Amino acid sequence: MLAAELRLHDVRVLVLEKETEPVSFARVVGLHIRSIELLAMRGLLERIAGQGRRRPAAGFFAAIGKPAPEGLDSSYAYLLGIPQPVLVRLLEDHATALGAEVRRGCAVTSIDQDDEGVTVGLTDGRRLRSRYVVGCDGARSTVRKLLGIGFPGEPSRNDTLMGELEVGVPHEDVIATTSALAEPRLQLRPLGNGRHSVVVPATDVSDRAEPPTLDDVRRQLRAVAGTDFGVHSPRWLSRFGDATRLAERYRAGRVLLAGDAAHIHPPTGGQGVNLGIQDAVNLGWKLAARVHGWAPATLLDTYQAERRPVAEAVLDNTRAQQELSATGPGPRAVRRLLTELMDFNEVNRYLIEKITALGVRYDFGAGPDLLGRRLRDIDVGQGNLYRLLRRGRGLLLDRTGRLTTEGWADRVDHHADPTADLDAPAVLLRPDGYVAWLGDDQRDLDDQLSRWFGRPAA
């Protein structure tokens, strides 16, 4: 995703991938509302949605089974489940179609930087040179370790097995058994064609690096539920812990971190892949601006300033969800109370907006509530807003017809439309769809154009 964002701004990009082949197991990941919006902004949603399955935007917080709340402020208020290999392939095809290069079987062994760039050493002895490097290399990030960036937090205390398997008993029997248990971490959800998504807490894990087996899953199911439900024929199996860590910083000179390299947390609520995609879209245009020389001095610093607090909030909400999944009398009492509170639509919506990143507001200074928030895909002219953001540029959406982006036309588009469904005279949108300014004063607008898009062209 980051490679594609950089290519929208004509930045040369090389992706180094340690694995020689794409991931083969068909684990399903869930794209939440904000990630779906970002894909719609780049014209990718139709291509990706056809490969996935929609589910209501409900039941995310601690797996508490409430319906989708009313009043979600989005045209894409659903979860999109999609096999991970399919998502990876579609995003790689998107990036390479824009001109990114992907080299597989290339593991990084060293990183050395100076005032002009970064030299990266590979396992085969080659050394590559670039202006910037971004480590998107996961929880055990080599890049983060080479930079010496601390990764404080809590180690894993509880393990969970998950996979996609066939179940040998009727689904009614599954529901009857699991409903009678006080173990919210146990889940068996039908996927169709007799297959189920299975999630079961694990005990006595001696080696977390070893992939689980079918026998491991059967043994843990019997320990928790008293039966293994006749599971067989796994399509894929994996394990995860509940380690929670956040990088002390997201940048060291010309090297940055994104995704799981910067933050890890339990998969409760399905936020991990979404947090990484949103990191990439926040960073891409800022890094491109720096490469092209028009970035204001502090623009690249806003990546950490904006995204690290978002990750902190995600880590906190996953901690809370983990506590609500514990089986002690105290956590169970709190879970019952929260279950009652979520019958109030405002509480339910607040928690869903937290999980799906609709509630994110960046600190752009004092101003109306919309300042620093994403703008939904409103109607404009003969179409919709997000189609105007496909090139990854800034956008002035102007209902007055009196404003201008002259001087910034190489970086910011201007769309004058008095009929736009907008509760403001005009808004300035960053390439990631967040509102950087709203009003009708040209001088104020020029100040914000300079803040986010640099000095005007001569």
pLDDT for 24: 65
pLDDT in tens, the chain (458 residues): 999 999 999 999 999 999 988 776 667 789 999 999 999 999 999 999 999 999 999 999 998 989 999 999 999 999 999 988 899 999 999 999 999 999 999 999 999 999 999 999 999 999 999 999 999 999 999 999 999 999 999 998 888 898 889 999 998 888 888 887 877 778 888 877 778 889 898 876 655 667 889 999 999 999 999 999 999 999 888 888 889 999 999 999 999 999 999 999 988 899 999 999 999 999 999 999 999 999 999 999 999 999 999 999 999 999 999 899 888 899 999 999 999 999 999 999 999 999 999 999 999 999 999 999 999 999 998 789 999 999 999 999 999 999 999 999 999 999 999 999 999 999 999 999 999 999 999 999 999 999 999 999 97
Is-contact 441 431, C-beta < 8 A?
no
Single-letter residue type at 298: T
Q: Torsion over CA of 54, 422, 408 and 41, rounded to 10 degrees?
A: 10
In the chain, the amino acid numbered 347 is V
pLDDT at 365: 94
Q: What pLDDT score was predicted for residue 327? A: 81
Q: Angle CA(261)–CA(255)–CA(310) in degrees, nearest 5?
A: 45
Architecture of domain 2-153+245-356: 3-Layer(bba) Sandwich (3.50)
What pLDDT digit, counting tens, does each position of 96-135 carry?
A: 999 999 999 999 999 999 999 999 999 999 999 999 999 9
* Domain at 379-453: CATH code: 3.40.30.120
| Architecture of the domain spanning 159-241 | 2-Layer Sandwich (3.30)
> Alpha carbon of 355 to those of 315, 348, 428: distances in Å?
11, 11, 26
Q: How far apart are CA 378 and CA 435, in angstroms?
A: 13
3-state class (DSSP) for residue 323: helix
Predicted structure pTM score: 0.92
Please identify which residue in the block is written with the tokens 């899953």. 217
Nearest partner of 239 among 273, 207, 272, 287, judged by Cα: 207
- Condensed to tens digits (0 to 9), the pLDDT of residues 240-254 reads 888 999 999 999 999
Domain ranges of the chain: 2-153+245-356, 159-241, 379-453
Provide the phi-psi class of 282: left if phi over 0, else alpha when psi is between -120 and 50, else beta. Answer: alpha
Residue 433, φ and ψ in degrees, nearest 5: 85, 10
Give me the pLDDT at residue 208, please: 63
Burial 229-261 (b: 16+ CB within 10 A, else e): bebeebebbebbbbbbbbbeebbbebbbbbbbb
C-alpha–C-alpha distance, residues 8 and 301, integer Å: 21
